[in-house]
Amino acid sequence: MTLEDVDRVAVLGAGSMGHGITEVVAIAGYPATMRDVETELVESGYEDIEWSLEKLAEKDRIDEAPADVLDRIETTTDLKAAVTDADLVIEAAPEELDLKHDVFSDLEELTHDEAILASNTSSLPITDIAEATDSPERVVGMHFFNPPVKMDLVEVIYGEHTTEETAETAHAFVESIDRTPIYVRKDVRGFVVNTVLGPFGDEAAWMVSEGEADVREADATMVHERGYPMGPFELSDMTGIDVGYQVRREAGQPVPPVVEAKVDADELGRKTGVGYYEYDDGDGADYAPEDASAEFDWLRIEARIVNEAADLIGDEVATAEAIDTGLRLGAGFPEGPCRRGDKIGLDVVLEKLESLHDEYGEARYEPSAHLRGLVEDGRTGEDAGTGFFEYGEADERDYTTINRTLHDDGLLEIQLDRPERLNAISPDLMDEVVHLLGTVDHDEVRCVLFEGAGDRAFSAGADITSFSGYDPHEVEPGEVYRAIEEFPRPTIAKIDGFCLGGGHELALACDLRVATTDSEFGFPEINLGLIPGGGGTQRTVRMLGDARAKELIYRGNRISAERAESWGLINRAVEPEEFDEVVGAFVDDVVSGPPIALRKAKRVINRGRDQDISAGLELESQAFGILLETDDMMEGASAFMEDRDPEFEGR
Ligand code: COA
């Protein structure tokens, strides 16, 4: 069965995962039936969907009225009615193997032979679940994250007998509902995200148990120094300390004494009002940057995380890219663990693990064979030019925060690819754009188009979470903007959604800007006690004049695309339906234009802008004189006289 054959979806379970999955599937346009065992459960799940759709509509996050989405959702308590016509069934029942076996053996009977049977389990092996059917080849894991409406990631897990076709269709389906799938190619406990995330809480708990660290200091350091959205103890309080405890017991892993003590005292986190923090008076964990400590040995945690990632790669469970995507989208990591390992140096990681292993003799510090192999081969990370990823020249480099596509006609598309942070501009992203523009063969490029991944933002500015890692002597935020401004080909920003702060500056460094009417522009830096740092003060004043530039920068609020257009900040504000077409027309003109003349035009306009007019005119006439002697000029003139389209070759 391929994606085209999937017309109808059934979701089994109306709890928090079941109703969330149903909602996401229906938003994407599929008719869906949500089934649970009791009418009240189904009704309550349906009400939750109604509530959530209203919220999404208020925030303008769905294109339709909630009622139109609801029209595609049916509910029932009758399993047969739910699944008979379904081409894809997603089971989201409680995590009990016996129960899942009952469900899947019924599915074997009730569904048509081709239907894909997916389980949203997060803790049971897909292979075990599939045992209840005679057709385990069509059973696959489809692990959504909570809440499905907000979380972009879905792990697509192969059971032992899952066919390529089943997994590929599941993967394509996930893409079709606007989520990001990653393949988990072997049915390992915890799949990818929870496996790699495990040491985040576990190692921190060992460190506290051993008296090596303090809870608050650990959390503050991991957040403020290392950029994680939450510290390990705050996270554990949120998910429930007993949950992590159970996972370790089931996996036969030792439990850190501090966890054991909390479970014994029934202090399980938020849900009991006390965990590592107290929650009686609100939300508890109020640690601040000053609680972070240089003494806190974060490398113990990160080394184990990188080690888990290496193990999964070595066992061919997932690629480095899939792991990084998984942890960024599924766990909110500021960057993937493989990328981070490459930055720290895999030799440093290995050394840390070896010294911990020597000290404690515990299996959790045993370095993975894959990690050892990389280090032995000299593939120790970014400094060595190769590690989990490649850092060589041009085509050999693996980018982790941007996607690039160079089309045959010379269009270079650069997608800012951090949708989980609204494409916020991190030091890595700047570095990768500078590298790409600096190494790509200019002769092959006729136009560069920047856009943002996801449907919410071009870019919401500099990545605020990476500010703490900045060394003021090292940071040169201007570099990326200069590289764009000085790139010898026309550059276009294709803007759909938030275009703020550093993202706004990136768009301003481009030559042309086309935006949807849904877009918003602003410089929120002032709200953070900052000013724009990537040319925003200078480019804006030249483009808009004093009053408007100062309004944007002083007030820090956002303006609509219509206003941006009337101010001359962007070239066009267009309705979303016409967006691709209008951008396409801009691109077509530029891509087929005469490369040398466009380069000169860009240079003369940019250089001349800051000169007095006579110097500017001098630049212009020099360029004009040079262009008169190009083959392209001859071609343009001949084509005009022969009444045909010119074919410029940049000569
Ligand atoms: N840096 C880092 N992360 C950012 C970010 C930024 N500049 N802008 C957004 N994000 C992250 C959010 O933290 C959030 O992550 P989470 O889901 O892990 O919490 C995610 O992107 C989605 O943003 P969210 O704030 O939940 O969306 P929203 O629709 O409620 O608000 C904005 C959108 C753009 C108004 C809001 O994100 C914002 O104000 N961002 C900061 C803009 C800014 O100050 N930029 C200039 C920096 S110098």
CATH assignment at residue 574: 3.90.226.10
Checking if the pLDDT of 373 tops 90, the result is yes
Alpha-carbon dihedral of residues 536, 541, 547, 548, nearest 10 degrees?
Answer: -50
pLDDT band at residue 394, thresholds of 50, 70 and 90? low
pLDDT in tens, 347-370: 999 999 999 999 999 999 999 999
35-38's contacts with Cβ under 8 Å and 24+ in sequence apart are 35/10, 35/11, 35/75, 35/76, 35/77, 35/78, 35/79, 35/81, 35/82, 35/83, 36/12, 36/77, 37/77, 38/77
**Are residues 142 and 52 part of one domain?**
yes
Q: What are phi and psi of 278, to 5 degrees?
A: -105, 140
**Are residues 613 and 525 part of one domain?**
no
Which of 384, 416, 451 is at the close of a domain?
384
Which of 61, 328, 329, 422 to mutate for ligand 1's pocket (most ligand atoms within 8 Å of CB)?
Answer: 422
Contact 192, 318 (CB under 8 A): yes
**Are residues 511 and 522 part of one domain?**
yes
Mark 146-171 as b/e (b = at least 16 C-beta within 10 Å).
ebbbebbbbbbbbbebbeeebbbbbb
Bridge partners, residue 522, by sequence: 500, 558
Checking if the pLDDT of 56 tops 60, the result is yes
pLDDT in tens, 274-321: 999 988 766 666 677 777 788 899 999 999 999 999 999 999 999 999
Nearest CA to ligand 1 atom 21: 421
**Ligand 1 atom nearest to CA at 456:** 29
**Ligand 1 atom nearest to CA at 229:** 18
Q: Ligand 1 centroid vs 416 CA: distance in angstroms?
A: 15
**Chain centroid to CA 22:** 22
CB-ligand 1 contact for 421 (6 Å cutoff): yes
pLDDT band at residue 396, thresholds of 50, 70 and 90? confident
CB-ligand 1 contact for 462 (6 Å cutoff): yes
**Are residues 453 and 350 part of one domain?**
no
Block residue for tokens 């509902």:
177
Contact 534, 480 (CB under 8 A): yes
Measure Cα distances from 139 to 114, 121, 312, 443 in Å: 11, 12, 22, 49
Cα(258)–Cα(239) distance, integer angstroms = 16
Nearest CA to ligand 1 atom 29: 59
Alpha-carbon dihedral of residues 312, 315, 320, 323, nearest 10 degrees?
Answer: -30
Mark 542-575 as b/e (b = at least 16 C-beta within 10 Å).
eebeeebbebbbeebebbebeebbebebbbbbbe
Cα(182)–Cα(538) distance, integer angstroms = 42
Q: Ligand 1 centroid vs 465 CA: distance in angstroms?
A: 10
Nearest CA to ligand 1 atom 44: 524
Nearest CA to ligand 1 atom 4: 421
Residue-level pLDDT at 288: 75
206 belongs to a structural domain:
no
Helix (H, G, I), strand (E, B) or coil at 476: coil
203 belongs to a structural domain:
no
Q: Ligand 1 centroid vs 460 CA: distance in angstroms?
A: 6
CB-ligand 1 contact for 525 (6 Å cutoff): yes
Q: How many CB atoms lie within 10 A of CB 320?
A: 22
**Are residues 426 and 482 part of one domain?**
yes
Q: Ligand 1 centroid vs 463 CA: distance in angstroms?
A: 9
Which of 264, 298, 332 is at the close of a domain?
298
Q: With the C-alpha atoms ordered 540, 544, 550, 555, is the resulting torsion angle positive or negative?
A: negative
Choice between 552 and 467, residue whose per-residue pLDDT is larger: 552
Helix (H, G, I), strand (E, B) or coil at 462: strand
Measure Cα distances from 113 to 1, 83, 139, 141, 173 in Å: 10, 12, 12, 18, 18
- State the chain's mean pLDDT as an integer: 94
Tokens of 220: 């503050």
CB-ligand 1 contact for 270 (6 Å cutoff): no
200 belongs to a structural domain:
no
- Which of 234, 267, 432, 525 does the annotation list as catalytic? 525
Residue-level pLDDT at 94: 92
CB-ligand 1 contact for 422 (6 Å cutoff): yes
CB-ligand 1 contact for 344 (6 Å cutoff): no
Checking if the pLDDT of 136 tops 60, the result is yes
Helix (H, G, I), strand (E, B) or coil at 31: coil
Checking if the pLDDT of 538 tops 80, the result is yes
**Are residues 52 and 180 part of one domain?**
yes
Q: Is 525 a catalytic residue?
A: yes
Mean pLDDT of 383-387: 95
Tokens of 650: 């940049």
CB-ligand 1 contact for 505 (6 Å cutoff): no
Q: How many residues does the chain have?
A: 651
204 belongs to a structural domain:
no
CB-ligand 1 contact for 254 (6 Å cutoff): no
Q: What are phi and psi of 620, to 5 degrees?
A: -60, -45
Q: What are phi and psi of 126, to 5 degrees?
A: -65, -40
Q: Is 635 a catalytic residue?
A: no
**Are residues 16 and 76 part of one domain?**
yes
**Residue 526: CB partners within 8 Å, gap ≥ 6?**
553, 554, 555, 556
**Residue 352: CB partners within 8 Å, gap ≥ 6?**
299, 300, 303
Q: What percent of the chain has pLDDT over 70?
A: 97
pLDDT in tens, 244-278: 999 899 888 999 999 999 999 999 999 999 999 98
Bridge partners, residue 91, by sequence: 12, 119
Nearest CA to ligand 1 atom 10: 421
**Lowest-confidence segment of 10-14, 410-414, 502-506, 608-612 by average pLDDT:** 608-612
Strands 520-522 and 558-560: antiparallel
Q: Ligand 1 centroid vs 551 CA: distance in angstroms?
A: 22
Q: Ligand 1 centroid vs 301 CA: distance in angstroms?
A: 27
- Which of 234, 505, 520, 565 does the annotation list as catalytic? 505
Residue-level pLDDT at 284: 63
312 belongs to a structural domain:
yes
Q: With the C-alpha atoms ordered 333, 335, 341, 343, is the resulting torsion angle positive or negative?
A: negative
397 belongs to a structural domain:
no
Q: What are phi and psi of 49, to 5 degrees?
A: -65, -45
Cα(240)–Cα(234) distance, integer angstroms = 10
Number of folded domains in the chain?
Answer: 5
- Stated as kind and residue range, the H or E segment containing 625 is helix 613-627
Q: Ligand 1 centroid vs 637 CA: distance in angstroms?
A: 51
Which of 258, 282, 298 is at the close of a domain?
298
Cα(556)–Cα(499) distance, integer angstroms = 13
Q: Ligand 1 centroid vs 510 CA: distance in angstroms?
A: 23
End-to-end Cα distance, the chain: 52
pLDDT in tens, 444-487: 999 999 999 998 999 999 998 877 655 655 656 789 999 999 99
CB-ligand 1 contact for 501 (6 Å cutoff): yes
Residue-level pLDDT at 285: 65
147 belongs to a structural domain:
yes
**Are residues 451 and 358 part of one domain?**
no
**Are residues 294 and 306 part of one domain?**
no
Q: What are phi and psi of 205, to 5 degrees?
A: -65, -35
Residue-level pLDDT at 290: 76
CB-ligand 1 contact for 379 (6 Å cutoff): no
pLDDT in tens, 160-214: 999 999 999 999 999 999 999 999 999 999 999 999 999 999 999 999 999 999 9
- Name which of 393, 544, 536 is nearest 477 in CA terms: 536
Cα(161)–Cα(167) distance, integer angstroms = 11
Q: What percent of the chain has pLDDT over 90?
A: 87
Nearest CA to ligand 1 atom 1: 463
Mean pLDDT of 68-83: 97
**Are residues 563 and 437 part of one domain?**
yes
602 belongs to a structural domain:
no
545: phi > 0 → left, psi -120 to 50 → alpha, else beta; which? left
**Are residues 514 and 499 part of one domain?**
yes
Cα(154)–Cα(171) distance, integer angstroms = 9
Checking if the pLDDT of 28 tops 70, the result is yes
Residue-level pLDDT at 143: 98
**Are residues 308 and 353 part of one domain?**
yes
CB-ligand 1 contact for 498 (6 Å cutoff): yes
**Ligand 1 atom nearest to CA at 532:** 48
Residue 231 belongs to domain spanning: 211-216+225-298
Query: For the domain that residue 336 is a member of, what is the CATH number?
Result: 1.10.1040.50
Helix (H, G, I), strand (E, B) or coil at 102: helix
Q: Ligand 1 centroid vs 421 CA: distance in angstroms?
A: 6
